[in-house]
Structure 1
């Protein structure tokens, strides 16, 4: 199956190449962005638009699957360049883009001000008048091309995915996991869930994946990274791993070295699956590709365990 030529993948350049994607959908001379990366990605977003022969006035929508900074950190800055666009956000996410004070404070507490400036650039507010709040089932009209937005908790409570019936594809943000192209093999794409902090919920994530699958998608456009096919196989892989990760969490919970236990068990899980998948990289190279995600997934599992205890 060939990719839909009206859908363009944009490498935002966050952290490294082929790590963080945004998307541009073009229909009858009008355009919509899905996610946008950080403030440092704005020139790449504008260049991708120019490469299609369109100007900034052609963009009607900026669809933000959720407000984590690798997906939406540059939204306010990008909107300053798009005179006709409206930003579409989950009801729980919209307040954090209209007033990003808490978002910036939380990220600064985790990463530090210097790292925020280095990796994320400026984080600007989006004027409330330019924000559309999307309830579950919200529909967007892109020059006659309908895009359906469904709420998909599991990775974050304020997450939605975008269904494009034209291409029979979902734009999945982080709901349908992570699939780096370095780990592809003759068997196709390698995939694993993202449980990054702070709102991971394994049962909600499984329900969201099953909800997406009910539409019979032919492809998924994941943020990390790009378009994947063999969707039923990947969905089964994700559901199996979500259960395995929850089991790991319970087994490590209560230990004095819980974080170290989580890191080791997640690393072993992913390396075993990568080897079975026939990934061409050696074990250390696979571990290097996955290092950041193993750390974040361990933190997310810990948040889930602590929340359940409360």
Structure 2
């Protein structure tokens, strides 16, 4: 039996390590309200046994799950949704309208992802994507509210990282499930100064103006905690929001400084690692360069791709 790494938070929320690439990189969240449940994000196909085990650990039947909320359809968050739904007879998948059709028919999603990763790496990371029956999909509206056994969950659109992104406000827990809209914050980089956060600008939808607006929209709800997919709970929300705003401005300046370089990709990767590394050191992180690269190296490459795409194509909201 596959044993899930679970972190039990408050108000019936459990962070489940999806074991994507490495431990404590990506989480799904399970909400248990009086025996009725919802998952927020799923990880990949390889994550599904962990999510089902998280239910078993709480002596919950798979029929107890009413919703699978997909904050956005990037495959590290939603690649396992179709397979998971096959084990959840009562669940409905809640998806942004820009993403719903791609989960009902994932052929374009597969093709686009294979173009980025290559077929071999795609197969290793994600396996064979399963479609979700359109009759089991709820196309989420901005501001729509969902009832989970009397607990209200409020969906609101958040662009900047992806145009098919929403966040989920849970007033009961004074929490926002942010997907990638409130950056990434790895627990290995926590110090006596608190949590460390930075934006994720993966292609093809990075939009700095909308990313700023999204951070402000999250903060306007005055949550006591944000629950990130990478990785789960952060509490010092106001400070982290200010850090994200600063990083977004610095990322744009970094990209512009490399715009006309003949070695732009290499220059951007080096600048991104140096920038995040310097911020980590200032935050009190004592890891050596090799350890830091092991933690943030993938994000450095993805952020570089996102900034390069933005330099070439501009912001989606301007197109």
1:284 paired residue number:
290
| Structure 1 position 107 matched with structure 2 position 113 | yes
Residue deviations 1:230-249 (CA, integer Å, cap 9, x gap)? 11011100110000000001
| Structure 1 position 156 matched with structure 2 position 169 | no
1:137 to 143, 155, 162: 143
Alpha-carbon distance, 1:3 to partner: 3.8
1:10 paired residue number:
16
Contact 2:11 2:173 in 1 (8 A): no
**What's the Cα RMSD here?**
1.2
Supply the distance in 2 between the matched residues of 1:257 and 1:11 (Cα, whole angstroms): 37
Supply the distance in 2 between the matched residues of 1:100 and 1:288 (Cα, whole angstroms): 31
Q: Gapped runs of 5+ residues in structure 1?
A: none
2:4 paired residue number:
none
Supply the distance in 2 between the matched residues of 1:126 and 1:3 (Cα, whole angstroms): 29
- TM-score normalised to structure 1 length: 0.98
2:306 paired residue number:
300
- TM-score normalised to structure 2 length: 0.95
1:88 to 91, 94, 112: 94
Alpha-carbon distance, 1:189 to partner: 0.7
2:187 paired residue number:
181
Residue deviations 1:60-79 (CA, integer Å, cap 9, x gap)? 00000000000000000000
| Structure 1 position 70 matched with structure 2 position 70 | no
Alpha-carbon distance, 1:5 to partner: 4.3
Residue deviations 1:227-273 (CA, integer Å, cap 9, x gap)? 11111011100110000000001110021111111111111110110
Contact 2:179 2:229 in 1 (8 A): yes
Equivalenced residues, count: 309
Q: Gapped runs of 5+ residues in structure 2?
A: 1-7
Supply the distance in 2 between the matched residues of 1:164 and 1:233 (Cα, whole angstroms): 21
Supply the distance in 1 between the matched residues of 2:11 and 2:209 (Cα, whole angstroms): 35
1:171 paired residue number:
177
Supply the distance in 1 between the matched residues of 2:33 and 2:300 (Cα, whole angstroms): 38
Contact 1:74 1:122 in 2 (8 A): no
2:216 paired residue number:
210
Runs of 4+ in 1 over 3 A off after TM superposition: none
Contact 2:11 2:172 in 1 (8 A): no
